Amino acid sequence: MSLINGQLAYLKGLVDGLEVDAATKEGKAILAILDVLDEMALVISDLENVVGEYFDMNDEEEFSYDIYSCPTCGISIEVDEGMLAFNEGLCCPKCGDPIELEEDYDFGCECDCGCDHHDGHDHN
């Protein structure tokens, strides 16, 4: 973004050096263009910050994916836990046929016992 800000500052300097008269049609147009460019630079800066925060957030969270292949059309699909959260199975996005999952997923239990408890529990 510093490149855009630098170029914008250079253009503003050129316009100041030209002593553009804001009372003329040309002067109004040039100054309006600079105002629009200034707003665009601010929006771009804000968007860069949002994208940076998004990537920082993704760096903090580890996502694990399993790769499944459709037996009908052969397309490979990356599947994460969120895609299986409602236990509705998985369908191929290309052909629509169901894809068999190789693993049994425990939807909610973090103890790897295969139960469906969401809170702490005793296995005795």
Convert the pLDDT of each residue in 54-96 to its tens digit: 877 766 566 677 888 888 998 988 887 777 666 567 788 889 8
If phi over 0 gives left and psi between -120 and 50 gives alpha, with beta otherwise, what is residue 27? alpha
Q: What is the pLDDT of residue 63?
A: 62
Residue 70 burial (10 A CB sphere; 0-12, 13-18, 19+): buried
Most confident of 14-23, 43-52, 64-73: 14-23
Distance of alpha carbon 99 from alpha carbon 73, whole angstroms: 11
Kindly report the pTM of this predicted structure. Answer: 0.45
The answer on pLDDT for 40 being more than 50 is yes
The answer on pLDDT for 105 being more than 80 is no
Which residue has tokens 């959260």? 85
**Domain locations in the chain?**
2-60, 63-124
The answer for residues whose C-beta is within 8 angstroms of residue 72's C-beta and 6 or more apart is: 92, 95, 97
Q: What is the pLDDT of residue 65?
A: 75
Q: What is the pLDDT of residue 107?
A: 46
